[in-house]
Amino acid sequence: MPAHAATAVSCANIAFIKYWGNTDEALRLPANASLSMNLAGVETETTVTFVDNLAADEVFIGGAAQSGTPYDRVVGNLDLIRERAGLRAFARVESKNNFPAGAGIASSASAFAALSVAGAAAAGLKLTEAELSALARRGSGSAARSVPGGFVEWGPGQPGQPDSSFGVSIAPPGYWDLVDVIAVISQKHKIVGSTGGHALAGTSPLQAARVGSVPDRLERCRAALLARDFDHFAEVVEADSNIMHAVMMTSAPPLFYWEPITLAIIKAVRRWRAEGLPVCYSIDAGPNVHCLCPGEHAAEVERRLRENLDANRLLVARPGGPARLLG
């Protein structure tokens, strides 16, 4: 068999309604539905090559050979692909991000979306978007939302059914010119990453209240998004980020992802909005602050973040398309 290769590119995404906690850790079935926007230009590019004479899978990220957990997670997805395709060959995986990994921008989302799309194509599989999304989810939950384009909803699926939980686009990237101005506070790796955090979610007495109140927030967020109603959108996005961080801070052990600068930006964003600038914040499992605003206000949000705050740098992303094969 000659080498079979494919390359795919996928965007990261920012969740407006967050995923935190699983009902099934092994299958990565989420405790609740979530809703996100793909981030154009914040991307992972991955090439998967199945090679006959390899003795084991090889995984390179940014040119560096991987071992331990990152390696095992990639091999886990390759095993699912091999099983589906009836393939035995090992693969070489070469992946690169154009943004810092492990600091609260969802590098695992774009990574596993690109890996799944490239890996399935390299193995000769013809999968639907839903099947690719469910496959990406097995590597990293939020990757389910980076497979379809634009604004994406990801449902919790059915117990014991691995293909029942996948992302679906509810609006294309051009539907609303929403911009994410990301204040990058730290490029360091997190001490407790998302996977460890999800496993702790159930230890917080607030998790049941969060999960129980997601359907209402999800409905309000979807309605505000589809109506391009920024005021209602801002309220529900901030509320959902806050309650997820309340769960994180009250799990055992507690997880504090914020730095002092994170809270300073939260307060500044709320003050700017009260003064009439339409902008709101959302924070993932890290200290970075995603400042969301309508496109026509992005330059002003950037200017204020640069002027007043000590962010390392700003990344600016508009709604992004689906994961795609290159070539």
Please choose, from the candidates 19, 13, 51, the residue with its C-alpha nearest in 3D space to the C-alpha of residue 292.
13
Tell me which residues in 282-301 interact with ligand DP6 (CB under 6 A). Answer: 284-285
The identity of residue 50, as a single letter, is F
Residues whose CB is less than 8 angstroms from the CB of residue 111 and which lie 6 or more positions away in sequence, other chains included: 10, 44, 46, 61, 95, 97, 139, 140, 143
Question: Rule CB under 6 A: is residue 38 a binding residue for ligand DP6?
Answer: no
Give the residue with the Cβ less far from ligand DP6, 144 or 261: 144
Q: Which residue bears the tokens 């924070």?
A: 283
Query: Segment near ligand DP6 (CB under 6 A), from 17-25, 55-63, 90-98, 226-234?
Result: 17-25
Give the residue with the Cβ less far from ligand DP6, 34 or 47: 34
Question: Rule CB under 6 A: is residue 108 a binding residue for ligand DP6?
Answer: yes
DSSP 53: T
Query: Segment near ligand DP6 (CB under 6 A), from 139-147, 174-182, 207-215, 273-281?
Result: 139-147
Total residues contacting ligand DP6 (rule CB under 6 A)?
A: 17
Q: In the complex, what is the shortest distance from the CB of residue 306 to ligand DP6, in angstroms, rounded to a whole number?
A: 25
Q: In the complex, what is the shortest distance from the CB of residue 73 to ligand DP6, in angstroms, rounded to a whole number?
A: 8
The identity of residue 274, as a single letter, is A
In angstroms, rounded to a whole number, what is the distance separating the alpha carbons of residues 153 and 164?
13
Give the residue with the Cβ less far from ligand DP6, 78 or 87: 78
Question: Rule CB under 6 A: is residue 198 a binding residue for ligand DP6?
Answer: yes
Q: Which of 7, 32, 34, 38 binds ligand DP6 (CB under 6 A)?
A: 34
Please state, in angstroms and as integers, the Cα–Cα distance from residue 97 to each residue in 11, 46, 138, following that order. 10, 9, 20
Bridge partners (DSSP) listed for residue 92: 49, 58
Q: In the complex, what is the shortest distance from the CB of residue 92 to ligand DP6, in angstroms, rounded to a whole number?
A: 23
Task: Cis check for the bond before 173: say yes or no (omega within 30 of 0).
Answer: no
In angstroms, rounded to a whole number, what is the distance separating the alpha carbons of residues 127 and 135?
10
DSSP 296: G
What residues line the site for ligand DP6 (CB under 6 A)? 15, 18-20, 28, 34, 106, 108-109, 140-142, 194-195, 198, 284-285
